[in-house]
Amino acid sequence: MKKGSRYGLHRSLEPKGVLPQPAWRVDNSMEVWSNEILIDVETLNIDSASFRQIREEAGDDEERIGMIMQRIVKERGKHHNPVTGSGGMLIGHVAEIGEDLRDRSQLQAGDRIATLVSLSLTPLVIEEILHVNKKTGQVDIRGKAILFESGLYAKLSDDMPLKISLAVLDVCGAPAQTRKLVQPGQTVAVLGAFGKSGLLVLKQARKNLGIRGRLIAIDRGEAGCGLLQRLGWADFVLDVDATDPIAVMEAVAAVTNGAMADLTINCVNVSGTEMSCILSTKDEGTVYFFSMATSFAAAALGAEGVGKDVRMLIGSGYTKGHAELALQLVREDPNLYEVFKERYGG
Amino acid sequence: MKKGSRYGLHRSLEPKGVLPQPAWRVDNSMEVWSNEILIDVETLNIDSASFRQIREEAGDDEERIGMIMQRIVKERGKHHNPVTGSGGMLIGHVAEIGEDLRDRSQLQAGDRIATLVSLSLTPLVIEEILHVNKKTGQVDIRGKAILFESGLYAKLSDDMPLKISLAVLDVCGAPAQTRKLVQPGQTVAVLGAFGKSGLLVLKQARKNLGIRGRLIAIDRGEAGCGLLQRLGWADFVLDVDATDPIAVMEAVAAVTNGAMADLTINCVNVSGTEMSCILSTKDEGTVYFFSMATSFAAAALGAEGVGKDVRMLIGSGYTKGHAELALQLVREDPNLYEVFKERYGG
Ligand SMILES: NC(=O)c1ccc[n+]([C@@H]2O[C@H](COP(=O)([O-])OP(=O)(O)OC[C@H]3O[C@@H](n4cnc5c(N)ncnc54)[C@H](OP(=O)(O)O)[C@@H]3O)[C@@H](O)[C@H]2O)c1
Ligand SMILES: NC(=O)c1ccc[n+]([C@@H]2O[C@H](COP(=O)([O-])OP(=O)(O)OC[C@H]3O[C@@H](n4cnc5c(N)ncnc54)[C@H](OP(=O)(O)O)[C@@H]3O)[C@@H](O)[C@H]2O)c1
């Protein structure tokens, strides 16, 4: 067996020498290098911003969604959406462990794992698309994938249905970062609060705040906002279009008497929401962009354009202990569990 | 006179209702609304990442650079590079002040100002391109521009040559953010240290560190690195290609005995440098992306991909007092002044 780079550089084909995430194309041949793990893939969880774009391109037709996914993987060797730049993650069974990892790894062939690195860097082969779930972005396939030596993963336990774990783990970076950011007494706004990451962020923010501070949930549509009301974690639920910066700003101003948010967390899956976050945040406040539909330039130049002195953070998918924290949040709150079960379970 | 939005929303044509920065096209008709300022433009300072892209597209031909610039402004009503998403800034004389601002504004017709908001949101007309300076990205034109009520600007004083002020003010957000970020005792790495922003960041970082801490300057080429050595602000000057993540990581590891940087500041003007920054930074360290060639997705997913728990900041062009701080840095250090004078002055 050949030994590759810890970070998977040996798989980058175009251009060579870069890491597999920024590479345009990676080598997805399925012979295992000595420090790689081969996975039999069951289900892909396509990143929400990416899946939304693919649905649009496919005119919401299931078969065409599958064809676009096949095309992306054929072209790039990985499910790296060229429009949004984002990936997603997967679950499957360990098929083979490279010889250099066999002693060190906690894994055994047959274990069921979820990868915690993006599909945008994961060598992947889709042999067959079995089922596309348009509502959840989860796609059952027959296929194979490679995990690099540095690649994070979570072993799945039996106490939670698979599809729920998959949904939670896809966005597990968000609540863990929220835990680090939210201070008691703050005013916190969450955009896209009814989505996967939004719900986890909202719940974690409430935990950090306790009874001090104000929590503002923003999403659109009566159904979602009604449920957010009933969940009761937010002090205010605002039904407003996150792509309308003035409407969002005014709605946040109204419930804060013009004081605005100390921290705004963006969990929306559509583009064009940077200014809504910036304008809803206090001077010297913080915006946390978890959304993969965020444009770096729009955020950097937008804040300058309106003279807003805000700290803006790029939402990394990773921080220590993120997977356990997110799963625990769902386990410990029956209402949160119920929502995830209804949406993704079964 | 009609009264417009404080943020310039009334100028957004495509789509309507958004702010002028994210808008694809803005209204660049030069009748002044009652809360706008009209400027006779002398010189545009095209953002470095944008200018580099335009030079490449133009095969480095001066006339074609001008034609591309004209085309961008014709299409979008502003100098908003569709490839990089970035703008730049301008200097000119105040031609007219809308009636609602006349009493409130510190300005008078005839004053010479630099805009401190991006060209990517500034309604602009280029009547004629007078001179393209390929080395500096400064382009003399005959033309007009509009500043919104919320638009920041700096009045220019006579104690510094115009083109030097322009170069410094273009990147003045970077040293001001550096001042807030760098703590004594830290190890700080600056990529693109020999550029406009890089030099200012390096100087400010040294001021914050004093004699405690380690400062690492990274750029490529003997000329630049030699001068960085002679300036003496950095403890280590590394001549390495910022787009090669492994080379950068190894070079930083070598001078820090593997400890890596607490803070990495990206001042490069080319794309593909996200991973170099992430891999050069300690676990739980910070990366400050000032470069407009930064990809949000590459940063967010790249950090996750290698399991690096780093805080990543989007470099806003604005923070309070940024213009004064940057000009003062250059004024107070004769060597820094000398470098800027040689490069941009005259
Ligand atoms: N940084 C990372 O590592 C990372 C990892 C995973 C995901 N993400 C990103 O995080 C974001 C959220 O992901 P997710 O899985 O939580 O998405 P999700 O479950 O699809 O939720 C998105 C939510 O935003 C709402 N929304 C969409 N457009 C809106 C609008 N104009 N106004 C108000 N609300 C709107 C959606 O409502 P509707 O259902 O009504 O549209 C939905 O409730 C995505 O952009 C995704 O790419 C980032
Ligand atoms: N966030 C904001 O609001 C804002 C505002 C203004 C500017 N910016 C951005 O900040 C960045 C720097 O701007 P600037 O005006 O300081 O640029 P600059 O003066 O052109 O400096 C860029 C520096 O990076 C060096 N460099 C380029 N490619 C490199 C590589 N592969 N390896 C090592 N060094 C490399 C350049 O060296 P060579 O000359 O040898 O190429 C140069 O010294 C740009 O991306 C610009 O868009 C951001």
Residue-range domain boundaries for chain A: 9-156, 173-340
Strands (E), chain A: 12-14, 25-26, 37-46, 88-97, 112-115, 124-133, 138-147, 153-155, 187-191, 214-219, 236-239, 261-266, 281-289, 311-314
In B, minimum Cα distance to A290 occurs at B300
pLDDT higher than threshold 90 for residue B17: no
Q: Is B137 on the interface with A (CB under 8 A)?
A: no
- Rounded-to-integer distance, Cα A19 and Cα A28, Å: 14
- Residues B194, B279: contact at Cβ < 8 Å? no
Element housing B20 (H / E): none
CB spacing of A21 vs B295 below 8 angstroms? no
More confident residue, B159 or A151: A151
Q: What is the pLDDT of residue A313?
A: 98
Q: How far, in Å, from the CA of A212 to the mean position of ligand 2?
A: 44
Q: Are strands B187-191 and A138-147 parallel, antiparallel or unpaired?
A: unpaired
Instruction: Write out chain B residues lying below 8 Å of A302, CB-based.
Output: 19, 21-22
Instruction: Write out chain A residues lying below 8 Å of B318, CB-based.
Output: 303-304, 307-309
- Residues A24, A15: contact at Cβ < 8 Å? yes
Ligand 2 pocket member B288 (CB < 6 A): no
**CA dihedral (B216, B220, B221, B224) positive or negative:** negative
Q: What is the pLDDT of residue A219?
A: 98
Within 8 A by CB and 6+ apart from A144, the residues are A30, A38, A39, A40, A41, A95, A124, A125, A127
- Name the residue among B14, B130, B16, B150 with its Cα closest to residue B80: B14
- Rounded-to-integer distance, Cα B295 and Cα A296, Å: 6
- Residues A20, B306: contact at Cβ < 8 Å? no
Dihedral angle of Cα A274, A277, A283, A287, to the nearest 10 degrees: -90
Question: From the CA of B70, how many Å to the nearest CA of chain A?
Answer: 21
- Rounded-to-integer distance, Cα B203 and Cα B197, Å: 10
Binding-site residues, ligand 1, Cβ < 6 A: A 47-49, 86, 170-171, 173, 192, 194-198, 219-221, 224, 241-243, 267-270, 290-293, 315, 317; B 300, 304
Q: How far is CA B65 from CA A166, B60, B82, B131, in A?
A: 50, 7, 15, 11
- Rounded-to-integer distance, Cα A237 and Cα A257, Å: 15
In a mutational test of the A interface, the residue from B10, B14, B19 whose CB has the highest number of chain A CBs within 10 Å is: B19
pLDDT higher than threshold 70 for residue A162: yes
* 3-state DSSP assignment of residue A287: strand
At residue A192 the predicted structure's pLDDT band, cuts being 50, 70 and 90, is: very high
Three-state DSSP string of B260-299: CEEEEEECCCCCCCHHHHHHHEEEEEEEEECCCCCCHHHH
Q: Which amino acid appears at position B320 of this protein?
A: K
Q: How far is CA B20 from CA A68, A311, B15, B24, B305, in A?
A: 33, 21, 9, 8, 35
Q: Is A131 on the interface with B (CB under 8 A)?
A: no
Q: What is the pLDDT of residues A213-267, one digit of tens each?
A: 999 999 999 999 999 999 999 999 999 999 999 999 999 999 999 999 999 999 9
- Residues B4, B37: contact at Cβ < 8 Å? no
Read off the DSSP letter of residue A71: H
pLDDT higher than threshold 90 for residue A17: no
pLDDT higher than threshold 90 for residue B346: no
Nearest-CB residue to B304 (from A294, A299, A318)? A318
Q: How far is CA A182 from CA A204, A260, A285, A328, B279, in A?
A: 9, 15, 12, 18, 27
- Name the residue among B242, B238, B229 with its Cα closest to residue B256: B238
Q: What is the pLDDT of residues B170-180, one digit of tens each?
A: 999 999 999 99
Please, what's the largest Cα pairwise distance for chain B? 65
Instruction: Write out chain B residues lying below 8 Å of A314, CB-based.
Output: 289, 296, 299-300, 312-314
Q: What is the pLDDT of residues B236-295, one digit of tens each?
A: 999 999 999 999 999 999 999 999 999 999 999 999 999 999 999 999 999 999 999 999
At residue B218 the predicted structure's pLDDT band, cuts being 50, 70 and 90, is: very high
- Residues A83, A131: contact at Cβ < 8 Å? no
At residue A346 the predicted structure's pLDDT band, cuts being 50, 70 and 90, is: low
Q: What is the pLDDT of residues B224-239, one digit of tens each?
A: 999 999 999 999 999 9
What is B108-176 written as a DSSP string? -TT-EEEE-S-GGGS-EEEEEEEEEETTTTEEEEEEEEEE-TT--EEEPPTTS-HHHHHHHHHTTHHHH
Nearest-CB residue to A301 (from B118, B275, B297)? B118
- Rounded-to-integer distance, Cα A149 and Cα A33, Å: 10
Q: How far is CA A154 from CA A113, A324, A327, B300, in A?
A: 6, 9, 11, 19
Nearest-CB residue to B121 (from A17, A246, A301)? A301
Q: Are strands B261-266 and B187-191 parallel, antiparallel or unpaired?
A: parallel
- Rounded-to-integer distance, Cα B138 and Cα B44, Å: 6
- The burial class, CB within 10 Å (0-12 / 13-18 / 19+), for A265 is buried
Instruction: Write out chain B residues lying below 8 Å of A19, CB-based.
Output: 245, 275, 302, 305-306
Instruction: Write out chain A residues lying below 8 Å of B87, CB-based.
Output: 301
Q: What pTM was estimated for this model as a whole?
A: 0.96
Fold for A173-340, please state it.
Quinone Oxidoreductase; Chain A, domain 1 (3.90.180)
**Closest Cα to atom 12 of ligand 2:** B267
* 3-state DSSP assignment of residue A167: helix
Q: How far, in Å, from the CA of B195 to the mean position of ligand 2?
A: 6
Ligand 2 pocket member B149 (CB < 6 A): no
Read off the DSSP letter of residue A11: G
Element housing B317 (H / E): none
- Rounded-to-integer distance, Cα A275 and Cα A333, Å: 33
Question: From the CA of A134, how many Å to the nearest CA of chain B?
Answer: 23
Q: What are phi and psi of B54, to 5 degrees?
A: -65, -40
- Name the residue among A189, A161, A214, A151 with its Cα closest to residue A310: A189
Q: Provide the CB-side half-sphere exposure for A229 (13 A, CA).
A: 10
Question: From the CA of A5, how many Å to the nearest CA of chain B?
Answer: 11
Q: Is B121 on the interface with A (CB under 8 A)?
A: yes
Mean pLDDT, chain B, whole residue set: 96
CB spacing of A307 vs B87 below 8 angstroms? no
Reading phi first (left if > 0) and then psi (alpha if -120 to 50, else beta), residue B263 is in: beta
Question: From the CA of B58, how many Å to the nearest CA of chain A?
Answer: 23
Mean pLDDT of A101-115: 93
Ligand 2 pocket member B225 (CB < 6 A): no
Mean pLDDT of B297-315: 95
Q: What is the pLDDT of residue B262?
A: 98
Q: How far, in Å, from the CA of B312 to the mean position of ligand 2?
A: 18
Q: What is the pLDDT of residue A262?
A: 98
- Rounded-to-integer distance, Cα B182 and Cα B340, Å: 24
Mean pLDDT of A278-306: 96
Q: What is the pLDDT of residues A52-79, one digit of tens each?
A: 999 999 999 999 999 999 999 999 999 9
Neighbours of B278 (CB within 10 A): 25
Query: Looking at B158-162, B267-271, B326-330, which range is the least confident one?
Result: B158-162
* Tokens (6 digits) for A108: 């055994």
Rg of chain A over all Cα atoms, to the nearest angstrom: 20
ipTM of the complex: 0.95
Q: How far is CA A90 from CA A116, A119, A123, A147, A259, in A?
A: 8, 8, 12, 11, 42
CB spacing of A302 vs B19 below 8 angstroms? yes
Q: What is the pLDDT of residues A131-161, one digit of tens each?
A: 999 999 999 999 999 999 999 999 998 889 9
* 3-state DSSP assignment of residue B312: strand
Q: What is the pLDDT of residue A105?
A: 87
The percent of residues above 90 in pLDDT, for chain A, comes to 96
Q: What is the pLDDT of residue A158?
A: 85
Within 8 A by CB and 6+ apart from B158, the residues are none
Among A50, A219, A275, A316, residue to substitute to test ligand 1 (most atoms within 8 Å of Cβ): A219
The percent of residues above 70 in pLDDT, for chain A, comes to 100
